Amino acid sequence: MSTSDRHIVIVGDSIAGCTAARELRARGHLGPITMIGADSDGSYARPPLSKHILKEGAKEAEVWDLSDLDITAIRGTATGLDTDLQAVLLTDGRQVRFDALIVATGARARRIGAPTQHGELVLRTFADARELGTRLDAADSAIVVGAGFLGMEVASVCAARGIAVTVVDVDAPLQRILGSFLSGAITARARSSPVQIVRTDRPVELIGDPVTGIALSDRELHADLVVTCAGEIPDSHWLESSGAADTQGVGIDAGARPQYRMSSLPETSPIFVARCHSAGNRSGRTQSPRGKSQPLRHWVSNPHALRPTTTSGPKSWDCRSKWSAHSPSWVSRPFSTAP
């Protein structure tokens, strides 16, 4: 079987998975492509969820049109990888065979509540945005745990709605990302609106079931809703039993190939990681020139990861960026890329 005729399965249908499929076709892959996605709302951009979608209250996601790619779309959740069968296992019992597999499941929102605790809100999917929007419609007060980009965007939405919001974090808003000067400017702007910034010296605990507030080291805070914006964790648990991933995600080399080699998979049936991101933990990481594990930050590295399935690719790459909107101004942080 030629490289261009192989059946490629992509697990994950967000920006990385869709970019992977489009890049494969652009590079001349003629064989079948199957994309497995767990999100019932389909394929859509996630950054707008905390921006105009949450602000404007859109009821449906703007789903991307992939009809020109001639792919087979499967709605389902991957639960495992059978390396002997060379198949992705789904929750409904289906087994999706592949000649090459692209892991593009990215990450899921980190939760800090107990597994049985109800009422904790997060913002990762369109369903999360719908639920949060509905709760905001009836809220007079809110607590946001996490003062990063997402946390401050949610706080901005609350302030625009006239909701009294308290943002809680160990550090000042965006200090770890933007530094003290810009953090100070953002903090001052936030405090000029109905946003209160609370610094804590330790992780907070959600209280109530359903959640009604948070416990700090010296007091409790209560609100109509609590939104956790405490980063993400790799959505790669379905690979752990196969040895392709651990709790830190998928370890990859500079060609986006897993560092965990599964002896039952031949070299002609490779696995590639298309979505590499970092938010504390990572769904893809590689070794730096100094031998340290470091994350690949962005889906833009995706096209390079696909080259081994079609043609020769670069030995390594790095592409990192952040973008965000904080009322009433934009904050951007591009990173230079070095070969």
Contact 181, 148 (CB under 8 A): no
Query: What predicted TM-score, i.e. pTM, was given to this entire model?
Result: 0.79
**DSSP character for 115?**
T
| DSSP-derived secondary structure for 210-227 | TT-EEE-SS-EEE-SEEE
- What radius of gyration do the chain's Cα atoms show? 21
55-92 pLDDT tens trace = 777 778 889 999 999 999 999 999 999 988 999 999 99
* Beta-bridge partner residues of 219: none
Whether the per-residue pLDDT at 110 is higher than 80: the answer is yes
Whether the per-residue pLDDT at 256 is higher than 50: the answer is yes
Gap between the Cα atoms of 109 and 296, Å rounded: 18
* Beta-bridge partner residues of 206: 214
In the chain, % of residues over pLDDT 70: 73
What pLDDT is attached to residue 282? 36
SS3 194: coil
Can you state the angle between helices 149-160 and 180-191, rounded to 10 degrees? Answer: 20
Tell me the CA end-to-end span of the chain in Å, nearest whole number: 33
pLDDT band, residue 274 (cuts 50/70/90): low
| DSSP-derived secondary structure for 242-297 | GTS-BTTBEEB-TTS-BSS--TTS-TTS-EEE----EEBEESEEEE-TTS-EEE--
Instruction: State the average pLDDT over residues 211-237.
Output: 94
Whether the per-residue pLDDT at 33 is higher than 60: the answer is yes
**DSSP character for 160?**
H
In the chain, % of residues over pLDDT 90: 52
